[in-house]
Amino acid sequence: MERRKAGGREVILEFYQVGDYVRVSAMDAATLTETIIVGSAKATRDELERLAIRKLEWVLAKAASQPGARR
């Protein structure tokens, strides 16, 4: 498990390899919102991390734009 700062947020990342694939979980520490991606084990760790954080940011932005969303 790793902690990173991304866009002013603290993000917790977890990498888990299963055969030829890596499951990457990214969780926003403030809201406990979690996203998961699955990528090739041949991809670099930085690429997988970037994709996981980008998906998390997309989910958080989408939730914030919904009427009645928590902020």
pLDDT of residue 46: 95
pLDDT at 47 over 80: yes
pLDDT at 26 over 60: yes
Q: How many CB atoms lie within 10 A of CB 57?
A: 17
**Could you tell me the two tokens for 8?**
């002013």
Please compute the mean of the pLDDT values over residues 26-39 and round it to a whole number: 96
pLDDT at 71 over 70: no
Which amino acid, one-letter code, is at 9? R
pLDDT of residue 69: 60
Return the beta strands (E) in 1-71 as ranges.
2-6, 9-18, 21-28, 34-40
Q: How many CB atoms lie within 10 A of CB 50?
A: 13
